[in-house]
Amino acid sequence: MILLGRKNLKERWDTVHTLRVFSRVSKADFKGGLPIVLVHGLGVSSRYMVPLATEWAAAHPVYVPDLPGYGRSQKPQDVPDVRELASLLREWLRVVGIERAAFVGNSMGCQVIVELAHIDASCIVAVAMLGPTMDQTVASRLSHVAGLLKDQFREPPMLVPLQAFDYLHNGPIRTIRTFIHATRHDMLKRARQLRVPCLILRGEHDEIVSQKWVEKLAKGIPRAVLRELPGAGHALNYNSAETVAPLIEGFWQECGILP
């Protein structure tokens, strides 16, 4: 699936506040089409989002950045917290010429998106959250770590080395510091301020995000719809891309976001 995606995606480099930022974007030129921006989670990179991006890249303008400090993008000297990542994402949007877009986030990428909405709500038309973190119903940070370890047994075998490579490239210290930033972020408070259509998807066997948490999150977002994917783990953008893409697209069409 990743190899297939290369046929419809191309590499791009931009400069954001002196930082070189890498992204994967649609090869085709969709003039006037609504851009879809995919935001990866903690420790990983845009490679993790390629299966889902592939589902849309031939028909929609798709953009999948490596957030600064992740993947092939340059690392800032300090480790950005969630709000700082959202600010860098907002500047990247300006640099690449995206005024308004639909956003899809996985895991911590959902936290970045709700912070982006707080910084500049005008740039977000619709949102899809796939396994949104951090689960604020769990007892401690160790619960998040335990969930991450258990979820590895719920994912496709091909995902494990991909994640391991990205985590090692990101570095253990940066990953741990980002994790601490993410657990301190009040996702529920920020999400309640989201005013655009929002589809929340959770895999039935997601060990990182509980059903109790996504139900609480969905109740706090005025225009949210919650659905569960049977048999799936946390990384829905990777393990269930062929199912997730039409679900999101159909939801946005029902909301009048996409034709």
Average confidence (pLDDT) over 238-255: 95
* Distance (Å, whole) CA 35 – CA 125: 10
Total Cβ atoms within 10 A of residue 203: 25
Domain ranges within the chain, ordered by starting residue: 2-251
* 170-198 average pLDDT score: 92
Between CA 217 and CA 43, with CA 246 as vertex, the angle to 5 degrees is 55
Q: How confident is the model at residue 117 (pLDDT cuts 50, 70, 90)?
A: very high
Q: For residue 232, give the 3-state DSSP assignment.
A: coil
What residue ranges in the chain does DSSP mark as E strands? 9-16, 19-26, 36-39, 62-65, 101-106, 124-130, 198-203, 224-229
pTM value?
0.92
**Superfamily, domain 2-251:** Alpha/Beta hydrolase fold, catalytic domain (3.40.50.1820)
Instruction: Express as a percent the part of the chain with pLDDT over 90.
Output: 73
Give the confidence band of 157 by pLDDT, cuts at 50, 70, 90: confident
Mean pLDDT of 174-201: 93
Distance of alpha carbon 140 from alpha carbon 136, whole angstroms: 9
Three-class secondary structure of residue 48 per DSSP: helix
Compute the average pLDDT of residues 84-107.
97
